Every structure is written in structure tokens, then in C-alpha cells.
Amino acid sequence: MKTVLITGCSSGYGLQTARCFHDRGWSVVATMRAPRPELLPSSERMRVIALDVTEPERITEVVAACEPIDVLVNNAGIGLFGAFEATPMATVREVFETNTFGMMAMAQAVIPGFRARRSGTIVNVTSTVAMVPMPLVAAYTASKTAIEGFSTSLALELAEHGIRVKLVQPGYGPSTSFAKNGQGRMEGLLPEPYADLARRSFEAIGGLDAVTTPEDVAEGVYRAALDASPTMRFPAGADAVALAASR
């Protein structure tokens, strides 16, 4: 039985991904900052563990307790929407701590075990904002684009040790908690000079015919985890697939 460790499982993509792997016979370590076991199946193959990816010591503890791990899914992330001009640098750093440095720290923690066994896959969940730019998400885009560059280099670094690195790129997911979870963080980030741009951006997003669902991302992550080909990027969601094709 293979084991997958997934971060950010309290809602949305991470929650559905944990369910997806469990339904297919995997042993799942579902991590979240505040554990809610009731969200997931009660099963000897399901462990719900407290983990904040911005806490290095806790990362070390969790990985050591869950070894051997076959697949790491770096899904934990926080959102940010607002004018960069109005965004405090402390907020930018907060986004990077989770979306970028937390993801890197998780990867660094599992690599020694993967290397020793000469197998393992790291799946990093990013975003289509790394494919196609959009306004008012500059800091968020930077945090996700950094992981894209990091992953492409890391894949070359780890290939000779039998370790694979994959990227899953979700599109716009209206059913996620992106806005809700970042409400306090985004307060005051849309001053009047940017109000019209924000309105047009919301209208454009709201008018999309194709969007991404948690099920789309879970399937994309699962495919990436099992993929042994050189393919690295897996767009997830009808809108993401269309964007990737247009590029």
C-alpha cells in the first residue's frame, strides 16, 4: 500500500485530493492547520494530522512520523487579491511563507527518504496565473511562479535519484475558499483608483464559461502522482486545459 502526504486538506482541492487517493486504496496523511477528522472518511488508511507549513520543526516531526512516504502533494496555500501598491510587504511575505517557502520546506523534508529509496514523487499545486497574467494578484502570482521555476530545476536535480517532480496548475475555482480565507488579509487592498479595474476583473471572472472544480484538481494530482513520463505540467480544470492549449 502506498502512502501520500497532502498539505492543506481542510477544504477545496486538498480535501478532495485526500478523498480521491483514499478511494483508490492509498494510505493518506491529510494535514491541515486545525485538524477536522470529520471531513474525511473514518478509516485505518486515513490519518488527519495538524501541520502548518510555515513551522519547520513541525514539518520535520510530521514527515518523520509518517515515513515511508511515496508521494508528497504540496497543496497548502493562501490567496491574495488587491493592488500591489496598497499591499504591505508584511502581507507579501506572509503569502510567500506559505505558498513558496512552506512548499520548499516540505519538499526538502521528504527528499532524503525518497533519495534513500530511489523513488518518490513531489506534486506541487500552483495556478494558471503562472501561465497567463491577470491584474491585482501580483504578489500571489509571484509566489506561485517562483514554485514553477523551483520545480523545473528541482526535477533535473533529483531525476538521477529516481525522484519525480510534477506541477498541477488549477484554473479559476469559484467553489474554493480563496476569498473567504483571505478576507482579513485583503482588507483595504483595493483603494479607489483601482476600483474600476477590480470591478472589470470580477466581471470577467464571473463570466467564464469553464471553471475548475476540486474534482478536476484531485484527478490532475492523481494523474501526476502516477505519471512516469517526462511530462511535468498538468493543467487541471476545463479553463486551465484551454489556457495550456492556447499557449
How do residues 69-114 score in pLDDT, each as one tens digit? Answer: 999 999 999 999 999 999 999 999 999 999 999 999 999 999 999 9
pTM, full prediction: 0.95
Please answer whether residues 101 and 74 qualify as being in contact, where contact means their C-beta atoms are separated by less than 8 angstroms.
no
* Confidence at residue 175, expressed as pLDDT on a 0 to 100 scale: 79
Q: Which residues contact 223 (CB under 8 A, 6 or more apart)?
A: 234
Q: Is residue 177 very low, low, confident or very high in pLDDT (cuts 50, 70, 90)? A: low
Give all domains of the chain, ordered by start, each with its CATH number.
3-246 (3.40.50.720)
All cell numbers assigned to 118: 530511489
User: How far, in Å, CA of 93 to CA of 96, rounded?
Assistant: 5
Nearest Cα neighbor of 66 from 55, 74, 58 is 58
- Say if residue 214's pLDDT is above 70: yes
- Say if residue 172's pLDDT is above 60: yes
* Confidence at residue 184, expressed as pLDDT on a 0 to 100 scale: 75
User: How far, in Å, CA of 60 to CA of 137, rounded?
Assistant: 31
- Say if residue 182's pLDDT is above 80: no
* Confidence at residue 181, expressed as pLDDT on a 0 to 100 scale: 63
- Say if residue 240's pLDDT is above 80: yes
194 belongs to the catalytic site: no
Arithmetic mean of pLDDT over the chain: 95
* Confidence at residue 129, expressed as pLDDT on a 0 to 100 scale: 95
User: How far, in Å, CA of 39 to CA of 15, rounded?
Assistant: 8
* Section 29-52 average pLDDT: 97
* Confidence at residue 186, expressed as pLDDT on a 0 to 100 scale: 87
* Confidence at residue 242, expressed as pLDDT on a 0 to 100 scale: 92
- Say if residue 63's pLDDT is above 60: yes
How many percent of the chain have pLDDT more than 90?
Answer: 90
Name residue 165's beta-bridge partners.
122
106-158 pLDDT, tens digit per residue, is 999 999 999 999 999 999 999 999 999 899 999 999 999 999 999 999 999 99
List helix spans (H) across the chain.
12-23, 56-66, 89-96, 103-117, 138-158, 178-181, 183-186, 195-206, 214-226, 238-246
Please answer whether residues 131 and 121 qualify as being in contact, where contact means their C-beta atoms are separated by less than 8 angstroms.
no
Catalytic residue, candidates 140, 172, 194, 222: 140
- Say if residue 14's pLDDT is above 80: yes
* Confidence at residue 75, expressed as pLDDT on a 0 to 100 scale: 98
